Chain A
Amino acid sequence: MEFFINNVWVIPALPLWGFLLILFGRAFNFYQNKYISLALTVGSTFIGFIFSIFILLYCINNPETNTRYNILWLDAGNLKFSVGWLVDNLAAMMLVVVTSISLLIQIYSHGYMEQDKGYHRFFAYLVLFNFSMLALVLSTNLFQTYIFWELVGVSSYLLIGFWFDRPSAAQAAKKAFIINRIGDFGLLVGTLALLFYSLNWWTSTQNVLLEFATLGQAGSLALANAGPVLFGLLAIGLLLGPIAKSAQIPLHTWLADAMEGPTPISALIHAATMVAAGVYLIARLYPVFELSTQVMTIMAWVGAITAFIPATIAITQTDIKKCLAYSTCSQLGYMVLAMGIGAYSAGLFHLMTHAYFKAMLFLCSGAVIHSLADQQDMRYMGGLRKKMPTVAYTYLIGTLAISGLLLSGFWSKEAILSSLYTQGKGLLLVIALITAFMTTYYMFRSYFMTFEGEYRGKAHFHKPSKVMTVPLIVLAIPSAIIGFLFSGSLKSIGIESFDRFVFNVHAIHGDHGGLFLPICSLIIALLGFLLAGVIYWDKLTSLYCSCFKNIQKQITPLYKLSINKWYFDDFNNLLIKYLILPISEFLSIFDKYVIDGLVNLCGLSTLYKGKALSLLQNGNVQTYLVTALLSFVAIIMVMILIYIV
């Protein structure tokens, strides 16, 4: 077991090697066979997965694990940045989540991308992402996190823009990267500020700058040096990173557009791993955020709003992937909300469960889309349960899980809700419950529209291959049981609750609010299910006609708000169109006509002076002669005058 802990660097190193091998192999055309790329990718991830499992087991057995190793990477003056690896319970959990989901999605991708001419490129990007994500998880310090934070960003950029010949994909990739850069900007400035306000302490006592293990002390020093206001700004800067990466409002718009990428990517990066990295970073930076209650409150409200608004948008989406994307956004909001109110373990727990079931949901949608020849609109689906039962039932499991109907989502969501309840955050609790209701509604809506009723599309249907369905089944298992597994009910057989598990990383206990809340949330979820069923399930639609027909007209404004995504995109476009670009245009014109104009004016004025003087040059030799002689006489005269005086 020690072996795996000590050689944890293998986990990110293998994908890196995989990436390089595919890159050079393809660049010099050493091989054509698709299976070599696949084997390099899957093999590296599989070994990583084995390592991760052993590391997780080790961590479960030794809850105090905190192994660190640092290599000095950049050294200039008092700047000493290191990279390395840190294994503790949190990292172990993330490692397992990332490697297991990656592994399954890579296998699935083989089926999904087999016909694509960019197969090798796809897998190269995929291992690159794997490398970055795993290194991000293993980061020992904030600086390293920043490095891999950007690298996962760029992998995401590459994969969203995988089909770069589609204008919409190119646009979406660019948008994702730029919005993430806004977060990176905040993270960078926040990091620098944190470092600056505690610089003497770092340089005098620590070998590794910005190490997570000692971030708490540095944070309190920074608070003392900077004062609460500046410290708050600093923490908001740091928070900006997770806000962008985890698609929190107002930087969430890129996530829905990111669905332009291949569906396995949506599952892996934009649902399960990378977007959750924001929450992971919040967890890592928890000692800093904790110091400022205002920032925690801001975090909680950002989370709550993000849980709510995307949920309302998801209600009206007809694109199955967009619907899932907004659902992801909303669930990430849940996690940030949990973090913001101090429910540390609940947030991370939800991260883990969500990763599994959301990845599975996306893969299911991918299977559907693939089978229907790239049809993504749910209005042209329906009745697919009979044609692909495996996909339908796994999708149902995912739906139940995310709705909090007894499967894994129930446990994690319940943990968040009960924290809200015990801390007496009434308004936030109400928002969370409404969101839970909406979550159930739109998830079942998508399920019913896709799998129940009659087939409404025209596309020719072909069955998904085994490569694609097997990962679904495998993923369904953790989606169903992982919540229960770590809920603390199995303490007797040696599996501690998740709460206990992450306690060693950051000592905050989860709250338990008794039986009232679980029942309440179950009822709400059932209500959502019923509403969805009434409207969209053919077996219940008889009720719909009598009760709800008139309602639709009355809520038109709300409907419009929802279908237009609360006008966030339009607002951004306006901002760019009427603020950023005019500034740029103005500066560009200023540059061209004022600055360069002045320069050219200097040149022109010289030219015109020359022109004026050249009037003397009339071509007549005698004029030149008389000028010369006149000057000669004048000089002599002056000399005489000087002699006289």
Chain B
Amino acid sequence: MELGLAHYLTLAAILFCTGILGLIISRNIVKILISIEILLNAVNINFAAFANFADLDEAKGQIFAIFIMAIAAAEIALGLAILIACYRNRHSVDIEDYTSLKG
């Protein structure tokens, strides 16, 4: 058995679905952020895999993975800042307490 693209993609898919699962079922806001990181990592694996198997000459996938990392860092920084701001108001990190969007 040769290690091919499909293996990496499968791994990324499993990781992605785990991320989705965590995103939906978590109650802790920090955990939701963690799930988002997992999602992004799954994507990164995909990018790196494609770069390796299809386009190693220019490695565009790796460049995009780098961009994604930067943006992930930005996202988590902002997200946590917002979390802290929210926490200051509600004194809770339980997502069930944040229902201002209720129609």
Contact = CB atoms under 8 A, between A and B. Distances in A.
Interface of A: 614, 617-622, 624-626, 629
Contact of A625 (B24, B96, B103): B24
Contacts of B95: 620-622
A617 B23 contact: no
The 3 closest A-B pairs by CB, nearest first: A619-B99, A619-B102, A617-B103
Contact of A626 (B24, B26, B98): B24
Contacts of B98: 619, 621
Contacts of A618: 99, 102
B99 A620 contact: yes
Given A621-B101, A622-B95, 8 more contacts: A617-B101, A618-B99, A619-B103, A622-B25, A622-B32, A624-B101, A625-B24, A629-B20
B102 A617 contact: yes
Contact of B96 (A614, A620, A626, A629): A620
Contacts of B20: 629
B89 interface: no
A625 B24 CA distance: 7
22 contacts: A617-B101, A617-B102, A617-B103, A618-B99, A618-B102, A619-B99, A619-B100, A619-B101, A619-B102, A620-B95, A620-B96, A621-B95, A621-B98, A621-B101, A622-B23, A622-B24, A622-B25, A622-B32, A625-B24, A626-B24, A629-B20, A629-B24
A621 B20 CA distance: 13
Contacts of B101: 617, 619-621, 624
Contacts of A625: 23-24
B77 to A, nearest CB: 20
Interface string B71-103: 000000000000000000000000110111111
A620 B24 CA distance: 10
Main secondary structure, interface of A, reads helix
Nearest to A626: B24
B80 to A, nearest CB: 17
Contacts of B103: 614, 617, 619
Interface residues of B, number: 14
Contacts of A614: 103
Nearest to B101: A619
In this complex, the member of B20, B26, B32, B102 whose beta carbon has the largest number of chain A beta carbons within 10 angstroms is B102
B92 to A, nearest CB: 14
A618 B98 CA distance: 10
Nearest to A615: B103
Contacts of B96: 620
A276 B9 CA distance: 108
A518 to B, nearest CB: 98
A622 B101 CA distance: 11
Contacts of A629: 20, 24
A620 B26 CA distance: 12
A249 B101 CA distance: 75
A245 to B, nearest CB: 68
Contacts of A622: 23-26, 32, 95
Contacts of A621: 95, 98, 101
A619 B94 CA distance: 13
Contacts of B24: 622, 625-626, 629
A617 B101 CA distance: 7
Interface string B1-27: 000000000000000000010011110
B98 to A, nearest CB: 7
Nearest to B26: A622
Contacts of B25: 622
Contacts of A624: 101
Contacts of B100: 619
Contacts of A620: 95-96, 99, 101
A216 to B, nearest CB: 80
A606 to B, nearest CB: 15
A622 B98 CA distance: 11
Nearest to A623: B24
A622 B29 CA distance: 11
A626 B32 CA distance: 14
A629 B39 CA distance: 14
Nearest to B99: A619
Nearest to A616: B103
